[in-house]
Structures are given as C-alpha cells and as structure tokens.
Amino acid sequence: MAHRRGFLREFLTNRSTVGAIAPSSKGLAKAITKPARSCVGARRWLEVGPGTGVFTRELVDAMGEGDHFDVVELNAAFCKTLRADVLPQNDHVVLHEGSIEDASISGNYHAIVCGLPYNAFPTNVSRSILRRLVQLLRPGGTLSFFEYAAIRHMRSAVSSKSVKRAMLWHATFIARLEQDMRGRRELVMMNMPPAWAVHLTKEDAQP
C-alpha cells in the first residue's frame, strides 16, 4: 500500500515520465518477465523503468548463480524505494540512477524488461530508446515491454491532430518491430487497465 501511495505521488509530480497512476499487477509482472526467467545459464538482464519494483521482484527472486542484473530508473524517489525494499546488496545487481538514454551499460543482454510509458513520450524519444534497447540485446535475446490495451485509440479519440499523428506513427513503428523481430503478445486482463505484454526477439542476423 505504501508503494501504491508513493507511486501515485510520483505520478502527480512527474506525469510524463511516470505515465501511470499505479504500479503494474503481479499478473503482468509474471507475463512480462517470462522470457527473462526462462533463459538458462549465466544470464545478463536489464530492466528499464522499474518504478517501485513489481517486475524487479520477479527477476530478483529468479536470479541464480552467475546471473547479472542491471536496473535503470530515472526517478530518485523510486530509486530510494528500490534500494530500501527490493534490490539485494550484492555486485550482481546494479542500480543505475538516471535516464536509459545516458546509462553506461555494456549490453549483450539475454533479456531486457522495459516498463517505460512509450505512448506518453514524444515519438522521436520512444523510437530512439526502443532502438537502443534492441542494440543492447545479444542475438537471440528478448525485449519485453507492455502497452495498455487500446490506449492509442483512446488517446487518439480525445486528442489534437498532432497527438493523433504521433499515435499513428508510434503504432506503425511498434508493428514494424513486431514484424521484424518475431513479435508475440499476451493480453493480461488482471491489470488496471488491462495490458499487452509484448515480446520481441533479436535474430542472429539483426544488425
């Protein structure tokens, strides 16, 4: 409950970067972290935009010997919560406080889990971040993120022409990524609002 209150407070002060009024559900956390948890061997994981750590907890609980986990969060209050309540104190889990656009991380990840509110970002920002995340994957690695069901239709219905155009560009970009990267989607109804967990896998031949 304290995490939910903290989340709402951060949304009210940083709407455009937090992008949601409440943390995701455990059901969405299970769906979005599935590819990361399913890899075998010594795994390298990245999570971007963990907020209060709903997805992070699933990954921390699934960590085994030899795994490495980088976590990138922009919001200072969320970083404090993550340090205090979610992340273990060891060298295998590293919290990078700041934007994913500036994070010094080396890449070659088996799985990336991303909780960023893409639909709330300007299209050039969301595209450049998504491209960077794809580059940070190793061949065969999976990028997982979520989209609220019908969010683009709802925003388009009540928005200006420029926002409508941005929503369309964004939808086209995501559809192309899903086509190029063996995209698959799972609808999670037990989330407020219901959301799609989207998974993209990088082919060996991907530049």
Ligand X SMILES: C[S@@+](CC[C@H](N)C(=O)[O-])C[C@H]1O[C@@H](n2cnc3c(N)ncnc32)[C@H](O)[C@@H]1O
Residues at the site binding ligand X, with contacts judged by CB under 6 A: 17-20, 23-24, 48-51, 54-55, 72-75, 78, 99-101, 115-117
> Residue 201 Cβ, how far from ligand X at the closest point, in Å?
21
Least CB distance to ligand X at residue 90 (A)? 22
Amino acid at residue number 122: P
How many Cβ atoms from other residues are within 10 Å of residue 76's Cβ? 10
C-alpha 55/C-alpha 174 separation (Å) is 22
Q: Measured from the CB atom, is 27 or 183 closer to ligand X?
A: 27
Min dist. Cβ of residue 116 to ligand X (A): 5
| 96 vs 202, beta carbon nearer ligand X | 96
Which residue lies nearer to ligand X by CB, 115 or 141?
115
Name the residue among 127, 178, 121 with its Cα closest to residue 151.
121
Nearer to ligand X among residue 186 and residue 206 (C-beta): 186
User: Which residues are CB-neighbours of 151 under 8 A, at least 6 positions away?
Assistant: 119, 193
Chain centre to alpha carbon of residue 204: 23
Closest approach, Cβ 175 to ligand X, in A, equals 21
**CA 195 to CA 150: how far, in whole Å?**
9
